[in-house]
Structure 1
Amino acid sequence: MFYKNQQKFYQEPVYKSPYAAALWSLCLPGFGQLYVREYFIGIILLGSEIVFNILSKLNWSIYYSFTGKLQESSEIVNMGWGLFYPSVYAFNIWHAYNTAKVMNAKLEAEGVPKPEKLAHNMGFFTGLVFGMFFGLHWAFLISPVFSGIVLGFSLAIIGHLIEKCVSR
């Protein structure tokens, strides 16, 4: 809610779920940042996602992959632009998640419990970035899209397990 306070607008501090922020970012880059009220970076990430998606022709590659035209899927994607996409996508999810965590820590004085650490799932998102990047680049499966998805989530799980072991 907005309150007028000496000619400035005040936003009431609200707990933001880190998981909701991550899920919004998973749906479309920038939406998680808008959810946690990081409007400037949210618009930048949303714009960069649109630019990289159009210039890399990623949606066409996805379309051809799921319609069984795997050769066309590999040929249409512009790797120069397509390799930017996994980094922006994973950073976007990581940033929204951790911004919500930091916001909640700042609200501790107002009754919101402090999280045990400020940066969570760094191993998961780092693995996701590298996996999607190399999966798209190497295209070892039937299409670059499938390679990026499989390798991305495989390395994300490995990164999560490594982080879990290290943080003990």
Structure 2
Amino acid sequence: MQRMTAPKFPRRYSSVTTGFNFHQIWARNPWVVAWWSAAFPGFGHLLLGYYTKGFVLIAWEFFINTKVNLNEAMVYSFVGRFEAADDVLEPRWLLLYIPIYCYSIWDSYSKTIELNKHYLLAQSEPEPIKLFAMNGFTITLLDKRSPRRALIWSMLFPGLGHLYLQRLPSGAFIAVSCIAISYYAHLVEAVVLIIRGSLEQARTIIDPEWFSFFPSMYCFAAYSAYVMAVEMNEMYEREQCQYFRTKVQPPDYQLL
């Protein structure tokens, strides 16, 4: 009888290093991911690394939200103008908004549970961690990054923290989204007017419907960049342990 041989490569990975992105999974709280999806559909999927689905859901949120006039209705509700909020809502588009919104929350929650199981199984295998990747356009290097610097760059402008962490797809998408939000909300003009002391003029020029997108995007960029930096450092330390165990440490050494 022919004996079965073990596979040459592990079945599961928890990180992938490419020329444009450092991609990894780690154990997450499903409720936190679901909360981010509730705050803005697509954020939970970006946090998990499902970039394509996350980008599609975020683009859909921009489109359908402006069609429903949801943010405008929320602004009216916050100031107690409930009749005005009811008048601006578009029921034909609202019925399309609700199913996708609920799906985004449910899907991100369930996928978090699945990835947590995958991550735990991957830790039990001799998973190789790729330290370096390079192509004709860029270089990606797994090394230690400061979570505080990632947070500060994200607070200066959303997306910069992700670029600092070599997350090009998410960083570029968040940065472009914030530029579009700032343009349609007239945010930069309002900030200039506030600096000049023209508070009333700044209030009238800003578009509340588009401006309502900005706080969610801003907070998510800061949170995700900080968390990714912490997990990236842990992955770097794990790679160092693997290297020293296989290349430096004597085979007969007993690790306490």
Q: TM-score normalised to the size of structure 1?
A: 0.57
Give the equivalent residue in structure 1 for 2:82: 70
Going from structure 1 to structure 2, the CA distance change for 1:12 and 1:78 (only over 3 Å counts) comes to: closer
Give the equivalent residue in structure 2 for 1:21: 33
> Contact 1:30/1:92 (CA < 8 Å) preserved in 2?
yes
- Where in structure 1 are there 5+ consecutive unaligned residues? 113-168
Q: Shift of residue 9 of structure 1?
A: 7.2
Q: Deviations over 1:9-32 (max 9, x none)?
A: 774442232122112212211000
> Contact 2:25/2:48 (CA < 8 Å) preserved in 1?
no
Higher RCO (CA 8 Å, separation ≥ 6 residues): 2
Going from structure 1 to structure 2, the CA distance change for 1:64 and 1:23 (only over 3 Å counts) comes to: same
Going from structure 1 to structure 2, the CA distance change for 1:95 and 1:10 (only over 3 Å counts) comes to: same
- 1:102 aligns with one of 80, 89, 114: 114
Cα distance between partner residues in 1 of 2:20 and 2:81? 56
CA RMSD of aligned residues (A): 2.4
Identical counterparts, % of pairs:
25
Give the equivalent residue in structure 2 for 1:52: 64
Q: Deviations over 1:98-152 (max 9, x none)?
A: 111111122332348xxxxxxxxxxxxxxxxxxxxxxxxxxxxxxxxxxxxxxxx
- 1:39 aligns with one of 51, 57, 60: 51
- Where in structure 2 are there 5+ consecutive unaligned residues? 1-14, 125-256
Letter in 2 for 1:33: H
Cα distance between partner residues in 1 of 2:55 and 2:108? 13
Q: Shift of residue 55 of structure 1?
A: 0.5
Letter in 2 for 1:52: I
Displaced runs of 4+ in structure 1, greater than 3 A? 1-4, 7-13
Give the equivalent residue in structure 1 for 2:182: none
Q: TM-score normalised to the size of structure 2?
A: 0.39
Letter in 2 for 1:64: Y
Radius of gyration: which is bigger? 2
Matches within 5 A, 1:1-168: 3=17, 11-111=23-123
Cα distance between partner residues in 2 of 1:51 and 1:8? 28
